[in-house]
Structure 1
Amino acid sequence: MNLQHLHAFTIVAQQQSIRSAARVLGLSQPAVTRIMRELERNVDTHLLHRGSKGIELTPFGQALLKRAHLILEEARKAQDELDQMRDGAGGSLNIAISSTAALSLFPSALQRFRERMPRVELTISESAPPHTQDQLEAGRLDFAVLTELEGGAADGFERTVLLPMQLVVVGRKRHPLRGAKSIAELRDSLWLVPGIGDSATDYLSRVFRDHRLNPPQDVISCRSIVTALSIMENSDALGIFSRVVLDRRQRIANLSLFHPTEPLPMAWLTLATRPASQPTPAARCLMNCLSEAAASLTAADV
């Protein structure tokens, strides 16, 4: 088994077709078929079979695919580390960041990072649980910056808290419920929550559950904080956001903070990595830049 075998195998699994995989790999169909047969001989088991939707993985193939992604990513990181040790600037870095991180500490961290390692090829995607955790587990991400409620999640990843953030209730100026003194008075409003699927609605439910109240029923989950803020500016929708984002948005002039007497939980920006995964020099550098940017934000708020 070698890296060429594993790379070709992952492409065949992705394309579900020898012909399509051959095009992606720039090889002939017979060459790809030969590589797959060599791989199966080396591991002494069948990895592929032809199904109704094309080439499908056997249970052995599915097990190998998960490991193959990790092996290939570790090989990439090894090459990146050697490149970065040789010239101090090369290599690549793949990360995911939450919208909250993008609108708060990341711009400053990115500027610091580019000054120190300008030649690193950086790929950034928006964090989207649970997809981001799946990508992190598969080794496709060097690390992720997540927005999480205080306490985090028991998913096996190592976490470093970058920034604690106070949550606040927000609505448009002149909102008819702007004088509400209790979170219970806001329950029947339309709520906008940045996030995807259950991770978004659970975020809102936590606030009401903490005060022994039934959660709101009229809830829209938005992938983007920017989208949610735009809707809130032009409707009676409410949202719960971190204060650090709102304090750094010019559009806060069009929004009002509500002041219920009940305390709201804290949220965290956390840096998540795979256990026992050794970061490349570029990853360590960006992690340090994120920590420095978080410290600067904290100092500015004191």
Structure 2
Amino acid sequence: MTLRLHQLRALVGVVEHGGIRAASRHLHLSQAALTKSLRQLEEDAGVALIRRSPRGVVLTDAGQRLLARARLVTRQLDLADEELSHAADEQQGQIRVALTPYITLTHLGQVFSWFRQRYPKVSVELAEGLMSRVVPRLREGTLDLAVVAETGDLPVGEFNDRSILELEQSIAVRAGHPVLINPTPAALAQLEWVLTGPRDGLKSAHLRAIFERAGVAPPQQIVYAETLTALAVMRHSDVAGIIPAPLLRLPECRGMVAVPPSALQVGTLTLKLLTRPDVPLMPATEYMAQCLEDVCKGQPSR
């Protein structure tokens, strides 16, 4: 079986752009040429890869498996092309970075300013660095660099990772919350809680463990939300949550306060910088990584 690059680009294109018409515009091909490439890919692969439906193109199981490899192959070739272009002009290319919301809210402005002083023309894509989104994209090669919160679900040994910041955490509620009168573990357990990110067993297990260590049954009502949504819910209702303590100084957390220390020990949060071990970083990506590390160390300028 011989798979050709233009066929793999066709597959990636129809998935990322939602259909043949949009992909053909992006790839600067006619719809007929793109359809032919997909048909030849299926013939070469010997299995059906896509199904057409009124809602667009849907991948078969075999198509899903090939897509992950196709994204990696096409991204690595794009990086090679960018690397060669960079050798002639370091202001070309693109970097794709995912950042945990804490970095976005506290340090991104400074990091981006430093980066633009060195690389004013390099294209930058920024995404939210939730672990469940970062890991697949790093595997596919559609992400170059990520800073994530270590929550126990980082695959061991799969990526280069280094700790760049450790944060104290606080239980937080809105100012004037009734629980502040007597914030015992039992009283906190009666509240509704919000956890950030997608619903998964690790986050709820961590919350249960905090209460169980204090000898109290854990909360029964839990809301799962994106970070900014979680902060809004906490500011305007009686929902409690756990956040990095420095966030309470930001405008996004105005009207929220830390619950006084109690028998509940919430621990610290470690932020890690992730890259693929088998792909050398472009100079612009390496500089972005260094800026992130420097700002987390408190370096005032570059």
Superposition map of 1:89-168 within 5 A:
89-149=91-151, 153-154=154-155, 156-168=158-170
Letter in 1 for 2:298: S
CA contact (8 A) 1:201 1:221 kept: no
Task: Give 5+ residue unaligned stretches, structure 1.
Answer: none
CA contact (8 A) 2:208 2:219 kept: yes
Distance 1:121 1:51, change over 3 A: closer
Which has the larger displacement, 200-209 or 254-263? 200-209
Letter in 2 for 1:27: L
CA contact (8 A) 1:181 1:261 kept: no
Tell me how far apart the structure 2 counterparts of residues 63 and 148 of structure 1 sit (CA, whole Å). 28
**Percent of matched pairs sharing the same residue:** 29
Aligned to 2:219: 216
SS of 2:287 mapped into structure 1: helix
Of 164, 176, 179, the match for 1:177: 179
Normalising by the residue count of structure 1, what TM-score does the alignment of the two structures yield? 0.83
Letter in 1 for 2:112: L
Tell me how far apart the structure 2 counterparts of residues 114 and 265 of structure 1 sit (CA, whole Å). 36
| CA deviation string 1:209-239 (max 9, x = no partner) | 44454321122222123x3333333332221
Letter in 1 for 2:217: N
**Is 1:277 aligned with 2:302?**
no
CA contact (8 A) 2:248 2:256 kept: no
| CA deviation string 1:75-105 (max 9, x = no partner) | 1211222233322222101121121121122
SS of 1:217 mapped into structure 2: coil
Counting matched residue pairs gives 294
Which has the larger displacement, 23-32 or 283-292? 23-32
Letter in 1 for 2:46: T
SS of 1:137 mapped into structure 2: helix
Tell me how far apart the structure 2 counterparts of residues 219 and 56 of structure 1 sit (CA, whole Å). 34
CA contact (8 A) 1:173 1:254 kept: yes
SS of 2:207 mapped into structure 1: helix
Letter in 1 for 2:102: T
Aligned to 1:255: 256
SS of 2:166 mapped into structure 1: strand
SS of 2:298 mapped into structure 1: helix
Distance 1:181 1:188, change over 3 A: closer
Tell me how far apart the structure 1 counterparts of residues 277 and 268 of structure 2 sit (CA, whole Å). 25
SS of 2:150 mapped into structure 1: strand
**Is 1:289 aligned with 2:284?**
no
Aligned to 1:84: 86
CA contact (8 A) 2:210 2:264 kept: no
Aligned to 1:73: 75
CA contact (8 A) 1:5 1:39 kept: yes
Which has the larger displacement, 180-189 or 89-98? 180-189
| CA deviation string 1:25-57 (max 9, x = no partner) | 44334422432354456x463453657777665
Distance 1:274 1:209, change over 3 A: farther
Normalising by the residue count of structure 2, what TM-score does the alignment of the two structures yield? 0.83
SS of 1:161 mapped into structure 2: strand
Q: C-alpha root-mean-square deviation of aligned residues, in Å? A: 2.9
Letter in 2 for 1:216: P
SS of 1:240 mapped into structure 2: strand
Superposition map of 1:2-21 within 5 A:
2-12=4-14, 21=23
Task: Give 5+ residue unaligned stretches, structure 2.
Answer: none
CA contact (8 A) 1:101 1:269 kept: no
Which has the larger displacement, 251-260 or 16-25? 16-25
